[in-house]
Amino acid sequence: MAAAFHQWLWRWFGLSLLCLPLCLGVGCADKSVLPSQPEPAESYAILKFSAAMQLVALDQQTIDTAVAIRTLRVRPGQHMLRFLHVNNGPEGSPRHAGQRTDPFVFEAFEGLIYEFEAKT
């Protein structure tokens, strides 16, 4: 009787360990939502970010720091960006890692590509 209980207990424990990553993945899925982007048929500009900086906010939308965005489409017009310095890539700076920048306001024009780099 005790052997059957231990076997059942180990089977339950093993199944719960298998289900744990699935449950965590489903629970964290909504955190990696990208900011809304225009459809490819609409007019847009492209923003490219270096590995040394992380986009944390676009206009009024906060972006989860677990998401590393390197390329993003935006509608033409004025936008406000907020960045976080990270110590990645060849231009990364250990001294500035973790620092947030002041809001950066710029005007995006249709069909242009804007490349942002960390200059510290």
Q: What is the pLDDT of residue 112?
A: 96
Radius of gyration of the chain (CA): 22
Whole-number Å distance between alpha carbons of 44 and 37? 9
How do the pLDDT tens digits run along the chain, 120 residues long?
Answer: 667 666 766 676 666 666 556 555 544 544 446 778 888 899 999 999 888 888 888 998 888 878 888 899 999 999 999 988 776 555 555 565 656 777 889 999 999 999 988 765
Q: What is the pLDDT of residue 31?
A: 44
Q: What residue ranges do the domains of the chain occupy?
A: 2-31, 33-116
Whether this model's pTM surpasses 0.75:
no
Q: What is the pLDDT of residue 33?
A: 64
Q: Which residue has the tokens 């590995």?
A: 51
Whole-number Å distance between alpha carbons of 53 and 118? 6
Contacts 24+ apart (CB under 8 A), 87-91: 87/52, 88/51, 88/52, 89/50, 89/51, 89/52, 91/50, 91/52, 91/117, 91/118, 91/119
